[in-house]
Structure 1
Amino acid sequence: MDVGLGWEALQWGELITLLMIGVALGMDAFSLGIGMGMGGIRLLTILKVSITIGIFHIVMPLIGIGLGLFLTSYVGNVAAYIGGLILVMLGIQMLWSAFFGGEAKSPLLKTSFWGLLLFSFSVSLDALSVGFSFGLFKVNVLLAVLIFGMLGAVLAATGLLVGRRVGSWLGGYSEVFGALILLGFGLKFLL
């Protein structure tokens, strides 16, 4: 497993795949950010929330990758199917939540330290699952987590800013888009 950037060995397909998955992971933060931003949120709070989500989008996949590597050493090639299945299940769960979850899935953002950590953790849980599946495949780890962290922070900030300006009409569509990307890549790994 390559832990460096390895630009000379980087293939465009891997970069595009990581960018698309990073966008899919960030869409959850984006859609929840729209809802949070609609409540009137200060720019300093947007910065704190975005940075915290970005950090969680780096740490959670690393934890997942470690778990995936551990599993690979025990179950071998079967682990690739498990990783694909996790992505498919995550995509289906995100679709279900987008269509049937209602407003109950959007927790009220508290600006306290623990509220911010809990919100960031809940938004980053899908990054743990994706990291787990990446631990089962050969992936450029440093590049993956940097992309996930940057896109998570940028999409969270964008969602919070958009939420300040517009209504909630875009939130559900972004989660559906992210779910379809995860579902597509999960099916690709399975087939």
Structure 2
Amino acid sequence: MTLWLMSFALGMDAFSIGLGMGMLKLRKKQILKIGVTIGLFHMIMPLLGMTLGKQISVHFGGIATMIGGILLLLMGLQMIRASFSKEDQPFLTPVGFGLLLFALSVSLDSFSVGLSLGIYGAKTAAVIMMFGFMSMILTWSGLFMGSKVQKWLGSYSEALGGCILMAFGVKLLF
């Protein structure tokens, strides 16, 4: 039960950030791919964290959170900037490198949690499966809800999405 609650809590970041990113005009195929990618990153990052264990936990846990916060701030700023430009295409899209950057920034906190769980000897397979599944489902939910909000807000939706990403970046940094 504890692992389910942890996976839900970690997945809520993906949901909230997906809500912001969903305000971009995304096709259903892109939404599917984003959810799977984030789910995979939420499996890989805690696995890496659990593997590295206690020695790096003290030094790298805070750094990972700071990197995630900075990445989210930058992505949010780019989305806000793109919302005010006259171009139709946003500056940052969750495709290719942008998708990897997005997935990495969302899953960095699960790396730190993986470090802690590795210290306590949690069952690796159960942890990574729960983290991946929950984050994938919650990301899809956020992206679909964000796409609905985008239709209501029109051109301001990308700026709002950027503000949401920046808020989570600030939350991670402070």
TM-score norm. by structure 2 comes to 0.67
Q: Structure 2 matches for 1:72-111, cutoff 5 A?
A: 104=73, 106-107=75-76, 108=79, 109-111=92-94
- SS where residue 137 of structure 2 aligns? helix
1:117 aligns to 2:100 (yes or no)? yes
Quick one: distance in 1 between partners of 2:74 and 2:134?
22
CA shift for structure 1 position 38: 1.3
1:146 aligns to 2:115 (yes or no)? no
1:47 aligns to 2:32 (yes or no)? yes
Unpaired segments ≥5 residues, structure 2: 80-91, 151-156
Residue 159 (structure 1) aligns with? 142
Q: Flag the structure with higher helix content.
A: 2
CA shift for structure 1 position 135: 0.8
Deviations 1:39-77 (A, max 9, x none): 2211000001000000000010010001115x39xxxxx
Say which of 27, 37, 41 aligns to 2:12. Answer: 27
Report the aligned-residue RMSD.
Answer: 3.2
Quick one: distance in 2 between partners of 1:105 and 1:118?
11
Q: Percent identity?
A: 40
Deviations 1:93-152 (A, max 9, x none): 8xxx7xxx9x83654452431111111111110010000011110211101100000011
The runs of 4+ residues in structure 1 deviating greater than 3 Å are 103-109
Q: How many residues align?
A: 139
Quick one: distance in 2 between partners of 1:55 and 1:135?
19
Do the aligned partners of residues 106 and 26 (structure 1) sit closer, same or farther apart at CA in structure 2, a change above 3 Å counting? farther
Say which of 56, 64, 67 aligns to 2:52. Answer: 67
Quick one: distance in 2 between partners of 1:57 and 1:22?
9
TM-score norm. by structure 1 comes to 0.61
Quick one: distance in 2 between partners of 1:67 and 1:29?
24
Unpaired segments ≥5 residues, structure 1: 1-15, 73-78, 180-191
Quick one: distance in 1 between partners of 2:145 and 2:75?
16
